[in-house]
Structure 1
Amino acid sequence: MAKKLRRTAAFAALARAMTSGARGGPSLGKRLAALPRMIKATARREYDGGLRLALMVAATAYVASPVDLVPEAFLALFGLADDALMITWLAGSVLAETERFLEWERRRETVIPGYVVH
């Protein structure tokens, strides 16, 4: 059930991103420019996107893997369908996560760094 909800959320994010220009959401250029910052913030453990980033890397490796070429050779349409589904999920996930990251950056700008004294 949770897997289906995540998949649905990724597809919904893809659809939202395709129409976000009309609603004032971040442009595709801003989202793609945010990727290196998101990776750095995740590596520094400032941003909590580690697992999602790992899943995106795994999906990219799956699509780019030469091992996956064998199903396309034998199961042409079905082999390409799994790649198309994975690419669609990956695109939706990247768009959703970069939107989440950009929102995190905006909220972070309003926080004054310091310590809480009790």
Structure 2
Amino acid sequence: MGKTGRATAAYRAYKDVSRPGSPGLMARIKAFPRMIGGSMRGEYRDLGKGKLAMMGLGVLYIVSPFDIVPDFLPLIGVTDDFGVFLWLMSSLLGESGRYLDWEHKKVRGEVV
């Protein structure tokens, strides 16, 4: 995904979080552990193991001291980390919104 694609995805995630009636930012962040646990246990099937693994690799890439573009290069070095961060946050926020909808339906007995 290019720079424009990541920025567009981040903007869509922001619009989704700020939409009236949509779960807010803190509700989505608090749902991360439940969503990941539900996915690992096989209860929440909308977040596949492949996407979950990609998100984990994204976290590892951000915290890893090794980068494709070294961080000591001014501005350019942090661009790749920021791009991965944008992708990771937009993916997590979008998926956690879908998880909260699924969880709400499950509580109401609409989801098996």
TM-score (norm 2): 0.78
Contact 2:13 2:93 in 1 (8 A): yes
Listed one character per residue, the Cα deviations across residues 20-72 of structure 1 (whole Å, up to 9, x for unaligned) are 3xx12111111111111111111111112122222111111101101129712
Q: Which runs of 5+ in 2 are unaligned?
A: none
User: One-letter code of the match for 1:65?
Assistant: S
Structure-1 separation of matches of 2:82 and 2:6: 14
Aligned to 1:41: 38
Q: Which runs of 5+ in 1 are unaligned?
A: none
Between the two proteins, the alignment pairs up a number of residues equal to 108
Structure-1 separation of matches of 2:69 and 2:6: 25
User: One-letter code of the match for 1:90?
Assistant: L
Structure number with larger C-alpha Rg: 1
* Percent of aligned positions that are identical: 34
CA positional deviation for 1:18? 5.0
SS at match of 1:67: coil
**Alignment counterpart, residue 28 of structure 1, candidates 4, 25, 28:** 25
**Alignment counterpart, residue 81 of structure 1, candidates 63, 79, 82:** 79
C-alpha root-mean-square deviation of aligned residues, in Å? 2.7
Contact 1:35 1:98 in 2 (8 A): yes
Structure-2 separation of matches of 1:56 and 1:38: 13
Cα gap change, 1:27 to 1:113, in 2 (>3 Å) = closer
